[in-house]
Structure 1
Amino acid sequence: MSIVYLEKHRLFEIRTARTSYLFGVNEKGTVQHLYWGAPVEAADCAGLLRGRHHSSFDADVDRETEEYGGWGGCGYAEPGLKATFADGVRDVRLNYEGYEIWGDNELVLRLKDEHYELRVDVRYKAVPEHDLIERYVQVSNGEAQPVRIEQVMAAIWSVQRLPAYRMTHVAGRWAGEYQLRRTFLSEGKKTIESRRGFTGPHANPWLAIDDGSAGEETGSVWFGALGWSGNWKIVAEKTTFGHVRIAGGVNDFDGAFSLAPGASYTSPVFVGGFTAGGFGGMSRSLHRYERECVLPTRKLRKVLYNSWEATEFAVTAEGQKALARQAARLGVERFVVDDGWFGQRHSDRAGLGDWYVNPEKFPNGLQELIDEVKSLGMEFGLWVEPESVNPDSELYRKHPEWTYQFPTRTGTQLRNQLLLNLGLPEVKSFVLGFMTDLLSTYDIRFIKWDMNRTVTEPGVVPLREHFEESGRPEYDGHPEGAVSLGGAEPWTGSAGMEGIEHSGGSVWLRHAEHLYEIWAELRARFPDVEFETCAGGGSRIDLGILRYADQAWISDNTDARDRLAIQEGFSYAYAPAVMMCWVTESPHGFNGRSLPLSYRFHSSMMGGLGIGADIGKWPDDEIAEAAAYVELYKRIRPIVLEGDLYRLEPLGPGNGQERSNLAVYEYVGPDGEEAVAFVFLQSQHFGSELLHLPLRGLDPQAAYEVRVNEGEPAVRSGSTLLHLGVPIGLRGDYKSLLIRLKKLP
């Protein structure tokens, strides 16, 4: 069994393939965390379960490692729950009331306030094969009056005493997302968060903790990722008593809501894990988990062409057909029309929100282009941005009250657009309705769902007034297949939003919840359609949206050199199976950098391959070269998208070292029979000598056929490849090569 209760010691153990997670109920009734790491004998740890007192200023030190608790009494650490009761009491004291174990791998801790009928179920699900634990909470109000919820974290994780605590996370901005950051924690709090209404490009809800000595393949690493696509917060708090406590969940900033009598709230899922295999072991664990337990399907990404960079808003049926014919010559499998196909969308200043096919651009309708694309052997895809609206649009002129707004403020326009209040039932109905019509009318197999602005002026009109003005929405209630608030998984049941007031902080909750419900319903109605999550680049990627999205657009920056850094940081938490990478023009418009076609393709072949250049201008020899790369990618695609990733020479900083001039990434296929490695040299210095590149993940007893850049094969033993490596003879600036390995019988 993955979860056991040792009644004699009042200890709970969650055991995975390579880890132990222990907590228990001490003599004071505190549910106290004890240990998380490599496997131990649980009973031997019973002596750790005890209350601790230091002074009147630190009366309950054991609460620093409380498994989950409220703000109240002598608890001063970042709380799991902060609430105000109807009588004005702002003190939450949760007592342990019991537990349930469901099957082999699910546990529910029952907690209740000592006076009020406020209950908290702390839920765990072990994922033993991936050494992970999924956690979330459900808060239920049994009082006769509403309870104001001011903060509720999905989980509290504790990392026991280490000689030092180093936190690894990512930071960035638009066109510079997923930049790796490492910092040592001193006493106090280190907070990463988003207050912008979505996951955000400036931080991502994932982090890792080690003692400062862990490397890519060695060392103990504790890590966690939160599945929530709205405002979120993760706090790593180091105490003066030698603990680090990690709290994560929906951001409490402007986030308070009223929980009605009989209502309940279900938090997002916060998954955590431990590995003794360094940051590489952490990443491979998360990647396997995402592929097998999170993503909606296991389909491999199709080679995609997107017409945005070729045409921008100047979309015409004839122009798109010409691009489609060129894309077919490259071996593309999916042709996608980006912005500019609908309404009066001739620039980013008008038309957004009017989701009808522009009759001037498509005089014979959209079907003419779809028929052409299909006749060329490709699927058809389309770009949409359903959550936004231009003030210069029919939709806004008809329904200005559908946007986020405060009555005494002028709405902020970002990219010449406002944001629809997706929390309103009539807005949710509108979005679900036009998307249903679009996907029912046309044979569309792919949707790129974009969101090009943050949330501003998050005002809300009372729910009752909208029902009176607009009537009952066409699509009402929770769609079939929808999940509970925060993307809690199907095994948790669905709490929904009933009983949470439609004002104040709940506006942030409702936007993300309704987005999930729309995507869930569209997936149920159109199971053959694949979806890409995009928000001005990589601003909406997390374990919440990835339960509905097949793939993710991680940055609008398609410069192949910049992309190496972005893709590397992304890979720490998220699988290459969802990462879309485009080959675009050289010199690149963002940096003005010129890069060889080989370098651009190799950079983009490390995830889902896309092409976004103006291929109508490519000469025949470049088309032929690109087609060869596309064909090669199709052969190695299962290895890249389903295999294990090894960052052999990371580009980002590690252990205080300067950035490397060489970047090398190896993928070993799921059956271990094949592997590929991508090698990138940024610039040549001082006539560097020939290097040997040791590989990983191979069988030392086997022999392998080794092929470099499709050259003549050589046969090498696995032990030689692991310990001596493959000779690398790159010279010059921005050079790259691809190594393919196949195990011989």
Structure 2
Amino acid sequence: MAITFDANRKIFTIHTKQTTYQMQADANGYLLHLYYGARTKGSMNYLLCYADHGFSGNPYVAGMDRTYSLDALPQEYPSLGTGDYRGVSLNIAAADGTECCDPTFDHYKITKGKYHLQGLPAVWAADDEAETLEIVLKDALMQVEVHLLYGVLEDADIITRSVMIKNAGTETITVKKALSACLDFVQGDYDAISFYGRHAMERNPERVRVGHGTYRIGSRRGTSSHQYNPGVILADHTATEDAGNCYGMLFMYSGNFVCEAERDQFNQTRFQMGLGDELFAYPVEPGAVFTAPEVIMTYSDQGFSKLSRQYHNCILNHVCKGKQVHSNRPILINSWEAAYFDFNGDTIVDLAKQAAELGIDMVVMDDGWFGKRNDDNSSLGDWFVNDDKLGGTLGDLIERVNAQGVKFGIWIEPEMVNEDSDLYREHPDWALTIPGRAPIRSRNQLLLDFSRKEVREEILKRICVILDQGNIEYIKWDMNRSMSDVYAGNVPYDYVLGLYDFLEKLTNRYPDILIEGCSGGGGRFDAGMMYYTPQIWCSDNTDAINRTRIQYGTSFFYPTAVVGSHVSAVPNHQTGRITSLNTRGIVAMAGTFGFEMNPALLSSEEKEEIRTMLATYRRHQELIREGDYYRLSDPFQEEVAAWMSVAKDQSQALVSVVRLSAEGNPFGTYVKLKGLDAESFYLEETTGHVYSGMTLMQAGLLLPMAAAEYEAYQFSFKKMKEAADLYDVLRNKISAERNVISIFGGSGSGKTTMADILQQHFLEDGIGCFVLHGDDYPHRIPKMNDEKREQIYQENGEKGLDAYLGTPQEIEYDRINQVLAKFHAGASVIELKKMGREADEIWYEQTDLTGVQVLLLEWTHGGSEYLEGVDVSVYLDSSPEETQARRIRRGRDENAASAFIQLVVSIEGKKLQEQAKQADVSVGKDGHIYES
């Protein structure tokens, strides 16, 4: 079990896969926090320190014991009025106005599965993935029950915290502060790492030493906000990306919040998070229950990187819901930066045509399609299609878009109202205002009071009428102002619950529609919204260089799969910066990927580059979405922004790097990779270079020398597991004498790579190995082969070409057979033929093969009937399509995609299939090794 209770000492212990959390209900009834950290055994109550501290009061229940003070002891859920002068988690006002709640341990319950929160999003899990601990504290005088909830996802190393406050009395009480989680540390030197920002520049990390006093951040804006994200890390002062203790708290809530870190007089640290207590006073009637939103906690003893991956896993697999979460998302183009408000139906259809031509999946019609909305001063709330503007009904427009082979999405902002709208003129009281006072405007819009059921139900009805008009497959849900004009202390909380109620009903009614959240970009980028919207527009700032920093900060808590990121036009509409299309594409691939531009303004070269970009993203999108994410640099401190995604089984990785500066006379720049299998070799698929995992992680990858500012690069690595498996087979086939192993297969099938890796394996085992390249044995340099082949084809047709390819007419089999014979005979020095790339660049070289036990011959024709002296033949199976794709990707031929080269590859393929039948060992397309 993940949760145990020691009845003798009243100690609760929670174990996850790698962590332990422990607390004790002591003899006085107070629930004390004992430990949270790396998994351990035994009782940790020996850590409690009792002493007579001056000016630290003693609860009456402690009698004359001056050493017992809640002002000095670590508590699980500290409350105001108990003699603890530190920041508290709980403050409740009784009906008579007194503010003192003294809850002590009453009972507990351990259940299978994860608890649920009424009206609030929460981490979810199957019953066999989670357990719940519920500890009930009671204040007999106030007649209040405090239910502390702990959800434990053992394998995920996640512990969630929530609190339910039940009024068991006969009079109304007022909850004035109810945080969700508190951690007390009796020792340690900590930093608090939070993520501040502003509109269009969100989630910048800031690391602050937790000194004596209180470090406090939060939001009073009614949303989680651009200014401070509700995710905070408490870390050892010496913790780094890959080392040290760190504790995360992530609030699963989309409204006001507070996070506090306080170092007290005894050098103890209190770390807590929950609902903001400003503008908050929540009445709870007799018999009613108030529920605090959930905090998701996790711990890492290996720095921030591991902590981040634990949060990524939790959000992707236990927060986000719906069939879209683990599926490939549509690549979309949004009309906003393409047209802003200046569009009609034909504009959207033309955008769809352009999208189809490029291979983009979806067009999204942004703001301006409803009411009389031609700027941002009117019509919010009037959710009725402007048929005149669209030139027909919404249904007609959707059909026209779909007819282009493109999906259709739409923008909405349901929480807002303009004073210049029919809705406001009919229901001015539905706007959030303070009676008798003029409201605070923002973007010339007011907030609808979603704490009122009748308001949100009417808006939901109007939105559903819109969504029922056609095949709408995506919604961009926006929210473009902060909350003000709070007329009562319950409003901010009830508003967010109303929002969740709206989203719950919407997602239940339209489970097939993908919803992307947005609040001026990243103003409500939180786990609460992710429960309903599995992706959120990361920032209104689409500048690629700014985005490297925004996405860097975002990655500490949130996975790539939820990050809305697009390629936009240049000069960038937010910064005026010009970056290459390649750079913008690579940055946008660290997210859900899409476009914000007008394709009609692109050149034919740019359009072709976008098609290539789309193919690259589609090839890697599952890896980007599901893989482990690693930060490789700090773009706030270093000259490059670098990150990577690694498959869970370490079989592949995608590395992205963006240069942030350019200088004269530059020096080499190296990026150290992470998360690879140190014992394996990896093929970089574009260049064909092979590296060991250990080398890439310890020494790093040398970047190309910079030729322009803001260059970007991508490196795709594939683990060569089949090479290691093949080596194991070949190791058992070689004798003590000299051996020739032929590695053959289609041009571009990976022979050179395979031979390179096998050679390294042999050498590591102390077996001398030399690689002989069969490409050095045509009658002319390889660069001129195709000229001769085309001449043969023109003179003798396909039959003549068939009779030429791979035969003694094309290949000097006599010479290579002589080399193999001399090697078998034990010759130490053998003359090898060498070829360059230019005309007549042919020479002969005396090569010393002393100590060489294995000669690896890598060659397309290594299985030929004309070849003699091969001891073990190995065939690498690949289709002509795969061969061609590799040749194109690595730039092997200028005409690799031509019809003639396809014919050559096809003929070679047929011959190779016959030769493969005689192979001793085959490496299948599935990566498995087959012995004859």
User: What TM-score does the superposition give when structure 2 sets the normalisation length?
Assistant: 0.73
Report the RMSD for the aligned CA atoms in angstroms: 1.5
- TM-superposition CA deviations, 1:423-445 (whole Å, max 9, x none): 11111111211122222222111
The alpha carbon displacement at 1:123 in A equals 0.6
Equivalent in the alignment of 1:375: 403
- TM-superposition CA deviations, 1:390-447 (whole Å, max 9, x none): 1111111111111011222112221111111111111111121112222222211111
Match of 2:98 among 74, 78, 89: 89
Match of 1:689 among 667, 677, 683: 667
Verify the 8 A CA contact 2:352 2:362 in the aligned structure 1: no
Equivalent in the alignment of 1:680: 658
The alpha carbon displacement at 1:364 in A equals 1.9
- Residue 404 and residue 723 in structure 1: after superposition, are their counterparts in 2 closer, same or farther (change >3 A)? same
Equivalent in the alignment of 2:456: 428
- Point out the more displaced range, 235-244 or 721-730: 721-730
Equivalent in the alignment of 1:444: 472
Equivalent in the alignment of 2:698: 723
Q: Report the residue type matching 1:730 in the other structure.
A: M
- Point out the more displaced range, 712-721 or 254-263: 712-721
* CA distance in 1: counterparts of 2:669 and 2:332, whole angstroms: 35
Name the SS for the 2:388 alignment partner.
coil
The alpha carbon displacement at 1:160 in A equals 3.9
- TM-superposition CA deviations, 1:454-480 (whole Å, max 9, x none): 112123xxxxxxxxxxxxxxxxxxxxx
The alpha carbon displacement at 1:634 in A equals 0.8
* CA distance in 1: counterparts of 2:677 and 2:236, whole angstroms: 31
Match of 1:74 among 61, 74, 83: 83
- Point out the more displaced range, 659-668 or 57-66: 57-66
Name the SS for the 2:516 alignment partner.
strand
* CA distance in 2: counterparts of 1:322 and 1:455, whole angstroms: 38
* CA distance in 1: counterparts of 2:235 and 2:95, whole angstroms: 43
For residues 606-617 of structure 1, the aligned pairs below 5 Å read: 606-617=590-601
* CA distance in 1: counterparts of 2:49 and 2:134, whole angstroms: 22
The alpha carbon displacement at 1:58 in A equals 5.0
Q: Report the residue type matching 2:138 in the other structure.
A: K
Equivalent in the alignment of 1:518: 502
Equivalent in the alignment of 1:358: 386
Q: Report the residue type matching 1:361 in the other structure.
A: K
Equivalent in the alignment of 2:161: 135
Equivalent in the alignment of 1:476: none
The alpha carbon displacement at 1:130 in A equals 2.1
Verify the 8 A CA contact 2:395 2:469 in the aligned structure 1: no
Equivalent in the alignment of 2:365: 337
* CA distance in 1: counterparts of 2:97 and 2:382, whole angstroms: 48
1:603 aligns with 2:587: yes
Verify the 8 A CA contact 2:355 2:406 in the aligned structure 1: no
Match of 1:153 among 154, 164, 179: 179
Match of 2:431 among 388, 403, 410: 403
Unaligned runs of at least 5 residues, structure 2: 59-68, 113-129, 723-932
Match of 2:238 among 202, 213, 216: 213
The alpha carbon displacement at 1:686 in A equals 4.2
* CA distance in 1: counterparts of 2:443 and 2:96, whole angstroms: 46
| Segments of 4+ moved more than 6 angstroms | none
- Residue 42 and residue 193 in structure 1: after superposition, are their counterparts in 2 closer, same or farther (change >3 A)? same
Q: Report the residue type matching 2:638 in the other structure.
A: S
Name the SS for the 1:42 alignment partner.
coil
* CA distance in 1: counterparts of 2:42 and 2:464, whole angstroms: 53
Over alpha carbons, which structure has the higher Rg? 2
Match of 1:588 among 568, 572, 595: 572
Equivalent in the alignment of 1:714: 689
Match of 1:262 among 287, 295, 317: 287
Q: Report the residue type matching 2:250 in the other structure.
A: A
Q: Report the residue type matching 1:635 in the other structure.
A: R
Equivalent in the alignment of 1:47: 46
* CA distance in 1: counterparts of 2:542 and 2:73, whole angstroms: 45
Name the SS for the 1:369 alignment partner.
helix
Verify the 8 A CA contact 1:69 1:93 in the aligned structure 2: no
Q: Report the residue type matching 1:700 in the other structure.
A: A
* CA distance in 2: counterparts of 1:661 and 1:450, whole angstroms: 34
* CA distance in 1: counterparts of 2:96 and 2:657, whole angstroms: 65
Q: Report the residue type matching 1:47 in the other structure.
A: Y
* CA distance in 2: counterparts of 1:52 and 1:144, whole angstroms: 40
Name the SS for the 1:270 alignment partner.
strand
For residues 54-73 of structure 1, the aligned pairs below 5 Å read: 54-59=53-58, 60-61=69-70, 64-73=73-82
* CA distance in 1: counterparts of 2:526 and 2:194, whole angstroms: 14
1:736 aligns with 2:712: yes
* CA distance in 2: counterparts of 1:120 and 1:192, whole angstroms: 25
Name the SS for the 2:296 alignment partner.
strand
* CA distance in 1: counterparts of 2:546 and 2:634, whole angstroms: 14
* CA distance in 2: counterparts of 1:617 and 1:733, whole angstroms: 23
* CA distance in 2: counterparts of 1:259 and 1:679, whole angstroms: 53
Verify the 8 A CA contact 2:70 2:82 in the aligned structure 1: no
Name the SS for the 1:649 alignment partner.
coil
For residues 559-570 of structure 1, the aligned pairs below 5 Å read: 559-570=543-554
- Point out the more displaced range, 583-592 or 63-72: 63-72
Verify the 8 A CA contact 1:664 1:680 in the aligned structure 2: yes
Equivalent in the alignment of 2:148: 122
- Residue 585 and residue 140 in structure 1: after superposition, are their counterparts in 2 closer, same or farther (change >3 A)? same
Match of 1:177 among 202, 223, 229: 202
Match of 1:419 among 443, 447, 470: 447
Name the SS for the 1:9 alignment partner.
coil
Equivalent in the alignment of 1:10: 10
Q: Report the residue type matching 2:489 in the other structure.
A: G
* CA distance in 1: counterparts of 2:160 and 2:51, whole angstroms: 28
* CA distance in 2: counterparts of 1:197 and 1:168, whole angstroms: 22
* CA distance in 2: counterparts of 1:160 and 1:221, whole angstroms: 15
Verify the 8 A CA contact 2:381 2:459 in the aligned structure 1: no
Q: Report the residue type matching 1:386 in the other structure.
A: P
* CA distance in 2: counterparts of 1:374 and 1:671, whole angstroms: 39
Name the SS for the 2:612 alignment partner.
helix
- Point out the more displaced range, 678-687 or 420-429: 678-687
The alpha carbon displacement at 1:260 in A equals 0.4
- TM-superposition CA deviations, 1:42-68 (whole Å, max 9, x none): 23x232356554124354146652101
Equivalent in the alignment of 1:317: 345
Match of 1:698 among 650, 659, 676: 676
* CA distance in 2: counterparts of 1:726 and 1:218, whole angstroms: 22
The alpha carbon displacement at 1:662 in A equals 1.2
Verify the 8 A CA contact 2:56 2:71 in the aligned structure 1: no
Q: Report the residue type matching 2:675 in the other structure.
A: G
* CA distance in 2: counterparts of 1:119 and 1:340, whole angstroms: 50
Name the SS for the 1:675 alignment partner.
strand
Equivalent in the alignment of 1:634: 618
Q: Report the residue type matching 1:531 in the other structure.
A: I
User: Taking every aligned residue pair, what percent have the same amino acid on both sides?
Assistant: 32
User: What TM-score does the superposition give when structure 1 sets the normalisation length?
Assistant: 0.90
- TM-superposition CA deviations, 1:270-290 (whole Å, max 9, x none): 111110111111111100010
* CA distance in 2: counterparts of 1:320 and 1:361, whole angstroms: 11
Equivalent in the alignment of 2:219: 194
Equivalent in the alignment of 2:517: 533
- Residue 349 and residue 46 in structure 1: after superposition, are their counterparts in 2 closer, same or farther (change >3 A)? closer
Equivalent in the alignment of 2:635: 651
1:625 aligns with 2:571: no
- Point out the more displaced range, 112-121 or 47-56: 47-56
Verify the 8 A CA contact 1:32 1:49 in the aligned structure 2: no
Name the SS for the 1:65 alignment partner.
coil
Equivalent in the alignment of 1:485: none
* CA distance in 2: counterparts of 1:46 and 1:71, whole angstroms: 24
Equivalent in the alignment of 1:484: none
- TM-superposition CA deviations, 1:124-165 (whole Å, max 9, x none): 011122212100000000111101111111121223411x21
Equivalent in the alignment of 1:287: 312
Q: Report the residue type matching 1:105 in the other structure.
A: E
Equivalent in the alignment of 1:546: 530
1:506 aligns with 2:490: yes
* CA distance in 2: counterparts of 1:678 and 1:730, whole angstroms: 16
